[in-house]
Amino acid sequence: MTEPRERVKAAAFFDLDNTLMQGASLYYFARGLAARKYFTTTDLLRFGWSQVKFRLLAAEHAGDIAEARQAALAFIEGWRVEDVRRLSEEIFDELMAERIWAGTRAIAEQHIADGDRVWLVTAAPVELGEVISRRLGLTGALGTVAEIRDGVYTGRLVGEMLHGPAKETAVRAMAAAEGFDLADCYAYSDSVNDLPMLSSVGHPTAVNPDGALRRHARARSWQIRDFRTGRKAAKVAVPATLAAGVLAGAVAAGLAIRARRD
C-alpha cells in the first residue's frame, strides 16, 4: 500500500484590508488617532471623502499613488517609531481586533497548524502590519517601509509603497529567502490590484473579492471565499474606501499635528 505523500511545507501570503480584516486598517488607525486628539474629526472626514473619490473614480493611476505616497510621508515625518508602535497596539486592540474576519483567520490558523509560514502583505506601514501579525500569531508582516534615523521617521521611504506589483516583488523575495517554491505557496486577497501577487503563486484565492477580481478568479477557476453577507458587504464598503483617504489627507493632518506641537 502506498503511503500518502506528506504535504509540502509552504508560505501563505495574506493581504490585510478586506481580506483578513473588515475594512481598512489605516482608517481605523486614523480613527484611533482622532480619538486621541492627534487630529480632528473634520480631518478624518476629509480623508474619507478623498478616498471615496480615489476608489470610486478609479483610479489607481501612477499620479494617485505618488500623491498617496507623499501624503504618507508628510504624516509620519518627525514621529518616533516607538510611539507609532505603541499607538498601533492600542488602536488594534480597541478598534481592529473585533473586525478580523473569522473565516480568513481560520484559514491562516490552518496554515500555521500545517507548518506553513504565514505573512501579511500590506501597503500599510510595516510597523502596523507587524503589530497585527503578532496579535494574530502569524509569522510576520511585509509592509511599506519608512526610513528611520535615531528612532524617528525621516519622511522618506525605503523603496516603494508595497502596492500592486511591489507586493509580488516582496513575495518573490521572501519565498526565495525562505527557500519556498512559489508553485507550492498560497496567496489571498480581495482586490484586483493584487493580481500580480495572486498570479505568482500556485494556490491563489480571492477572498471577499471586488467585482473585477471575482470575474478574473472565475475565468481561471481560482478558489473564491466570501465571508460577507449582503448587509455586511455594504457596511464594509465605506471604511474600505476610506483607507487611502487617510493617506490623501495626511498632509493636512501632519500640519495640524505639528501646529499643535508648536
Q: How far apart are CA 22 and CA 27, in angstroms?
A: 11
17 is catalytic: yes
Burial class (CB in 10 A: 0-12, 13-18, 19+), 191: buried
Q: How far apart are CA 34 and CA 117, in angstroms?
A: 35
150 is catalytic: no
Q: How far apart are CA 55 and CA 33, in angstroms?
A: 23
- Using alpha carbons, list the distances in angstroms from residue 241 to 26, 169, 182, 226, 245: 11, 25, 31, 18, 8
Q: How far apart are CA 10 and CA 204, in angstroms?
A: 13
Amino acid sitting at position 46: R
Rg (CA), the chain: 18
The DSSP 8-state label assigned to residue 77 in this structure reads T
Q: Which of 15, 43, 190, 194 does the annotation list as catalytic?
A: 15
Q: Which of 17, 190, 194, 210 does the annotation list as catalytic?
A: 17
Q: Which residues are catalytic?
A: 15, 17
